[in-house]
Chain A
Amino acid sequence: MSVLAEAMAGSRPRTPAGRLVAALNHWAIHVALGLIGLIWLVPTLGLLVTSFRPRSDIQATGWWDIFNLHLTLENYRQVLEAQGMLPAFMNTVFIAVPSTVLPIAICALAAYAFSWVRFPFRDTLFLIVIAFLLVPVQVAFIPLLTTATALVPDLQLTRGYVAIWLAHTAFALPFGIFLLRNFFITLPPDMIEAARIDGASDFRVFSQIVVPVSVPAIAAYGIFQFLWVWNDLLMALVFVQDSSKYPMTRAIQNLLSQYGTEWHLLAAGAFLLMIVPLIVFFSLQRYFVQGLLAGSIK
C-alpha cells in the first residue's frame, strides 16, 4: 500500500455516524473506480468481441447481445489473407526492428560522449539536443522528399524501407540521447575512472561497463521507441510510397476508407495492430512505465 493510503487508513473515524459516512465514502470510491474501469475497458472489449463475430451477426445486433454469441476466426482469416494484413504485419516488423535497434545504438554512443567524455561546448551541444526534442517531424517532410529525389533520382529511397528507418532513427535521437545521458551520468564516477586508470579505452569503458550496467534504462528506451514506431502512421504516410511495403497502420487506414462500415474486417485488423503492443505492455509493463516516467519528467 502507498504511503498516502496508509496515512489515510490511519485516521479511522471513531463515532458510529462517522463510520457510516466513511463506509458510504468507501462505497462511492469503489463505484467510481468501477465506472472508470468500465469506461476504459468496454470500448476495447467491444471491438475484441466484434472481431470474433460473424459478419451477419454484426449487422443484425450489437456486440453486447452476448446471449446470441457465435464466435469465428473467419474475420481474421479474411483480413490476413484477402486484405493483405499478413504482409502488412511483416512490413511493420521490418520497419520497427531496425528503427528501434539503430536509435538505441546511436543514442547510447552519443549519451556516453555527453556524460563521460570531455570536450569543449559539451553542455551547449547537449542543450541543443534538448531543444531538438520538440522539433516537429513536419519540418522534415518536404526537404527530405524533394532533396532525396533531386540528389539521387534513381535511388528512390521511399520505395524501400531506408527512408523510414533513417527518419524514425533521426527523430528518435534527441529523446534517446536525453534519456540515456540522464541515466549514464548517475553511474558512479569511480567505476569509470578505475577502468580508465587500468588502461581501458573509451570504447571498452562504454561497451563493457556503461552499457551492461545500463540495461534497464536501455530496455525502457527500446520498448518506448519500438512501440512508437510500431504505432506510427504519419511517418509511414510520408516515407513509405510503395503500397506493397505499407505497414499495418496504413493498411487499416486504407481498409477504413474503402470499407468504412465493414466492422468484421476493421475490428480484426485493429486487433492485429494492437496485439504486439498489448503483449509488450503486459509483459514489460514495469520497463514501459519507467521509460514514460523518465521521458516525461524532462
Chain B
Amino acid sequence: MGLAPTPAVPAQKVSTPDLTAVRRARTPEGPNYGAAILFLFPAAILLVVFLLYPSLYTILLSFNRGRNGVFEQWVGFDNYVRLFTDPDFINLSTFPPSGALWNNVLWIVFYTSIVIFLGLIIAVVAARVRYESVIKAIVFIPMAISATALAVIWKFVYSPDANIGLLNAILGAFGVSPISWLGDENLVNFALIAVGIWGSVGFATVILSAAVKSIPAEVIESARVEGANERQIFFRMILPMVSLPISVLAVTLVVNVIKLFDLIYVMTAGGPGKASRVIAFTMYQQAFQAGQYGYGSAVAVVMLVVLIPIMIYNVRRFRTGAVT
C-alpha cells in the first residue's frame, strides 16, 4: 500500500457557511457536517472513551498513590522516582545491567537486528529456488499462532528433561548434560528472545521479499554485466534499495518489543525470580498482582512516553507522504 497518496478531494475553499444549504446541495466540494458526524460518531465515541480519556486518567493517576484506582493522595513524581530507583525496573549499577527496562533493551538490540537479518537472508536466498513459496509459508506459520501456543511449543522444546525437550536431547547426543534454558537467570532472556525471533522472522521475510522483488531485474542484470559479483550486488544494490522497508520493519519490531507481554507471561511469568521481566509485564504485575495502581500507571506512562517518538515519526512520515 505504500505511503498514502494525496486524498482525492479538490482543494477548494468552502464558499457557504450555511449548513443546511450545503447539505441539500450535496456537492462534493462543500463540507458535509451531517455525514461526517454520522460516519465518525461510533469511532469517535469509542476512541474518546477507551483511548483518550483513559490515557489522560492514567497520566494523572501516575502522580497519585492511587490505591484501587481512586485519586486519594497526590505524591508528585514519587512513583517515577521509585520506579527509576527500583533495581527490578532498571539497575545500571551492575555489569551487565539488569531490570525490566534493560531486558527490553536486550530485546530491541537482539530481536530486532536478528529478525531483520534472517528475514532479509531468507527473502533473498529463497527467491533463487522454485519452492520459495513453501519456505516462506513455513517460516510464516508462527505469525498466525497465538503467543500462548508459541510459549507452549517452546517450553516443550526447552524442557530440561532430555526425554521431553528436543534441545536438551540434541545436546545429550553430543554428551552435554541438560541445560535449564528458562531456569537460568543468565540464559532466560536469550532463550525468550530466540522464541520471539522464531515467531517474527516470517513477518520480516514476507515484507522484505516484497521489497526485494520490487527491484527491477534489469537493474541487477546490468550491474552483473558490468562485472559486479553477488556480494557487491547484495551490499551495494539490494540493501540500499530495501533500506526504507527495513527501517519501517525495525520500527514495527521495536513497537512489538515495547508491547511484549503474552510470551513472557506464559513462558516464565517474569522469572526465574524477576530475571525476564519486561516493561509491559511490570505494568500488569504492579497494577493487578501487587495492587499498586499509581505505580502501575507510572509504568504505563513510561510505555506511552517511549512510544511517543515513534508516533511522531509515523505522523511525520505520513504527512510528507501525503504531500508528495
* Segment at the interface with B among A68-76, A77-85, A152-160, A268-276: A268-276
CA distance A105 to B220 in the complex (A): 45
Point out the residues of chain A lying under 8 angstroms from B144, CB to CB. Answer: 227, 277-278, 280-281, 288
Question: Do A135 and B287 form a contact, CB below 8 Å, given A109-B43, A120-B31?
Answer: no
Tell me, rounded to whole Å, the shortest Cβ–Cβ distance linking A3 to chain B. Answer: 4
Total chain B interface residues with beta-carbon distance under 8 A:
127
Tell me, rounded to whole Å, the shortest Cβ–Cβ distance linking A294 to chain B. Answer: 4
Residues A297 and B245 in contact, CB atoms below 8 Å apart? yes
Point out the residues of chain B lying under 8 angstroms from A8, CB to CB. Answer: 127-128, 220
* B90 interface residue (CB < 8 Å to A): no
CA distance A125 to B315 in the complex (A): 11
22 contacts between A and B (CB under 8 A): A2-B127, A4-B124, A29-B128, A43-B166, A106-B46, A109-B40, A110-B44, A136-B307, A145-B69, A167-B50, A185-B4, A185-B5, A196-B26, A230-B146, A233-B146, A252-B149, A253-B148, A292-B207, A293-B206, A296-B249, A297-B1, A298-B318
Residues A112 and B314 in contact, CB atoms below 8 Å apart? no
Tell me, rounded to whole Å, the shortest Cβ–Cβ distance linking B98 to chain A. Answer: 22
* A24 interface residue (CB < 8 Å to B): no
The secondary-structure label for the interface of chain A is helix
* B280 interface residue (CB < 8 Å to A): yes
CA distance A142 to B271 in the complex (A): 24
Residues B315 and A127 in contact, CB atoms below 8 Å apart? yes
Residues A146 and B300 in contact, CB atoms below 8 Å apart? no
Point out the residues of chain A lying under 8 angstroms from B299, CB to CB. Answer: 138
Point out the residues of chain B lying under 8 angstroms from A298, CB to CB. Answer: 1, 248, 314, 318
Q: Beta-carbon contacts of A116-152 to B below 8 Å, as 1s and 0s?
A: 1111101101010111111111111111111100100
Q: Beta-carbon contacts of A1-14 to B below 8 Å, as 1s and 0s?
A: 11111111111000
Interface residues of B (CB under 8 A from A): 1-5, 7-9, 14, 26, 28-33, 35-36, 38-40, 42-44, 46-47, 49-51, 53-55, 57-58, 61, 66, 68-70, 122, 124-132, 134-135, 137-149, 151-157, 161-164, 166, 169, 198, 201-203, 206-207, 210, 212-213, 215-218, 220-221, 224, 245, 248-249, 252, 255, 258-259, 261-262, 265-266, 269, 280, 283-284, 287-288, 293, 296-297, 299-301, 303-304, 307, 310-312, 314-315, 318-319, 322
Point out the residues of chain B lying under 8 angstroms from A1, CB to CB. Answer: 130
Residues B132 and A2 in contact, CB atoms below 8 Å apart? yes
Total chain A interface residues with beta-carbon distance under 8 A:
128
List which A1-57 residues lie within 8 A (CB) of chain B.
1-11, 29-30, 32-33, 36-37, 39-44, 46-47, 50
